Amino acid sequence: MPTPIATVEVPASSANLGSGFDSFAAALSLKLRAELYHGDEAGILLNAHGEGAPGPNDDPEQNLLIRAFREGLRAAHGSEMGAGAWRIEVSSMIPAARGLGSSGAAIVAGLLLGAAAGRQAPTADELFALAAELEGHPDNVAAALYGGITLAVSRGHGEAPLLRRFRVPEAWIPVAFIAATVSHTAEMRAALPAGIPHADAAAAAARAALLATAVITSDASLLRTAMDDRLHQPYRLPRLPGAGRLIETAYLHGAAGAALSGAGPSVLAICDSPMIAHSVEKAWAATGLPGMATRLRFDTAGAHLSTSASSAR
């Protein structure tokens, strides 16, 4: 059995956390694992298994992991070293198009494997900037790369996004309802209006600041107000049957905070005791909505890369 050139594990992520639209995200314990091998013929062969695996009719050249792998090679070599011969084996627990950062995890995995195959690995900041550019927004890739709860702010003008990583409060427990249906980020972005009333903008800014305060101070009592979004959820929830009911159910059973996970359709609740987490999970399972309620953990390590010669973060 050949030894992989490099192996990477990348966590799922839940973006926005209510009011932190396109900036806040939390890394979760669902993982994507990818191994890089030398291939038998020129090109990149991708063998993917599990959640989010490409279908038989999907164009491999449009696969995010492959595109990111090529970018990682370019960053490490200044070129792709010609065609090359590579094989990538992927196993993922992260369901695609459910609001759990499957695309961000694929991008981070591809970039790290591509960089690992190069002569000179890019810096973490360079990889983060590339990942954000490929994803189109920095929130999911920040959490996938660094773990914990992250705040990533786009700055424009070719600058890398500004990043801050927060320690996850020890008492906080994430519970997810992973919807059986899918939604695509582009469609959910199309649901957003070009502008919102000034009062809603002011409320959104205040709640995002409160969200940061809740995380920094480990004050779960602030989460219900902090996760009461005015920027995206009011426009997305009507298109996601059952999601609003799941958020209400979470609060009825004691969740400290609840919101759409990313653009949905999945929902994330944050609970501050095992008993409440169990109650929310059980109540969600009893709704009969298509999907699966599951208690997860916050991932605090982020993406982990190991090579045949050494290991690195």
Q: Does the structure show a pLDDT above 80 at 157?
A: no
The answer as to CATH 3.30.70.890 being correct for domain 173-295 is: yes
Mean model confidence pLDDT for the chain = 92
For 110, the enclosing helix (H) or strand (E) is helix 102-116
Alpha-carbon gap, residue 266 to 201, rounded angstroms: 25
Alpha-carbon gap, residue 238 to 192, rounded angstroms: 12
Q: Does the structure show a pLDDT above 80 at 51?
A: no
Across residues 47-60, what is the average pLDDT?
66
Q: Which residue is listed with tokens 């609740």?
A: 269
Phi and psi dihedrals of 239, rounded to 5? -95, 0
For 236, the enclosing helix (H) or strand (E) is helix 233-236
Q: What is the pLDDT of residue 238?
A: 95
Q: Which residue is listed with tokens 């050949």?
A: 2
Two domains, one topology: 6-167+299-312 and 173-295: no
For 135, the enclosing helix (H) or strand (E) is helix 124-135
Query: What order of strands is seen across the sheet that includes strand 291-295?
Result: 257-260, 267-271, 173-179, 291-295
Q: Does the structure show a pLDDT above 70 at 80?
A: no
Task: Give the chain's length.
Answer: 313
CATH of domain 6-167+299-312: 3.30.230.10
Q: Does the structure show a pLDDT above 60 at 86?
A: yes
Across residues 44-48, what is the average pLDDT?
93
Q: Does the structure show a pLDDT above 70 at 60?
A: no
Q: Classify residue 254 as left (phi > 0), alpha (psi -120 to 50) or beta.
A: left
Q: Classify residue 174 as left (phi > 0), alpha (psi -120 to 50) or beta.
A: beta
Alpha-carbon gap, residue 15 to 24, rounded angstroms: 6
Work out the percent of the chain whose per-residue pLDDT is above 90.
82
Alpha-carbon gap, residue 22 to 76, rounded angstroms: 28
Q: Is 78 buried (19+), middle (13-18) or exposed (0-12) by CB count in 10 A? A: exposed
Q: Domain boundaries in the chain?
A: 6-167+299-312, 173-295
**Residue 310 binned pLDDT confidence (cut-offs 50, 70, 90):** very low
Q: Does the structure show a pLDDT above 90 at 27?
A: yes
> Is the whole model's pTM more than 0.85, yes or no?
yes
Report the range of poorest mean pLDDT among 59-73, 128-142, 176-190, 266-280. Answer: 59-73
Q: Is 310 buried (19+), middle (13-18) or exposed (0-12) by CB count in 10 A? A: exposed
**Residue 47 binned pLDDT confidence (cut-offs 50, 70, 90):** very high
- For 50, residues 6+ apart whose C-beta sits below 8 A from its C-beta are 90, 91, 92, 93
